[in-house]
Amino acid sequence: MAKKKSNKSLWLMLALIVVIVAVIFLLPAGETPKEAETQTESTTLVKAGDTAPDFTVELFDGSQVTLSSLRGKVVLLNFWATWCPPCRQELTRVQEDIIDRFAGQPFVFLPVSRGEKRETVASFREKTGYTFPMGLDSARTVYDRYASNYIPRNFLIDKEGKVVLATVGYDDGEFDALIRTIEKTLEN
């Protein structure tokens, strides 16, 4: 009886080892940075040098803005969401580093909430104290013209409506470079 129990335990352990080895071989390998970059690029539908697709978006206050009506101004189109930690981190810098810095210049910061209801954005604005205009794109009709995945995203659009820079994600250094690019674009 002891031998029978020992064989059963041995077979059970052997089966467990086979399952573990199979899982290890079947799991996808981690993406290399190059693969991740290529995947991110493939989800960006509008690239630097392209004409920015026109759209009309409802702002939080109920008014509407059309991108083509902003011609003659440099526009920073920002896609974000309340649930996105890098988006929230980026938004903490916006008032001082973007809105206040470029006040009085032909510049518009246009943040557009991707795929969220007005109530969600309202609650977020109340918690954070943000009062700057925000677009609402609950059906993702605007976002889907520019990208198919990943936020935060920034599209810097020049006075003629051409995309100067398209970025994905948030990083302090990249955000600082974005500010410098806004300055250079305003000079042109």
pLDDT digits (tens, 9 = 90+) for 139-170: 999 999 999 889 999 999 999 999 999 999 99
pLDDT greater than 80 at residue 30: no
Does residue 132 contact residue 111 with C-beta atoms inside 8 Å? yes
pLDDT greater than 60 at residue 4: no
Question: What is the total residue count of the chain?
Answer: 188
pLDDT value for 8:
79
Order of all β-strands in the sheet with 74-80: 64-66, 56-59, 135-137, 107-114, 74-80, 153-157, 163-168
What single DSSP character describes residue 124? H
pLDDT value for 39:
61
Spatial distance between the Cα atoms of 175 and 182, rounded to a whole number of angstroms: 11
Spatial distance between the Cα atoms of 85 and 80, rounded to a whole number of angstroms: 10
**pLDDT tens readout for residues 71-127:** 999 999 999 999 999 999 999 999 999 999 999 999 999 999 999 999 999 999 999
Mean pLDDT, rounded, of the chain: 88
Query: What is the mean predicted confidence (pLDDT) over 51-69?
Result: 96
Task: Provide CB contacts within 8 A for 137, sequence distance 6+.
Answer: 57, 79, 112, 113, 114, 115, 143
- In 3D space, the residue among 121, 137, 175, 131 whose CA is nearest the CA of residue 57 turns out to be 137
Give pTM, 2 decimals.
0.78
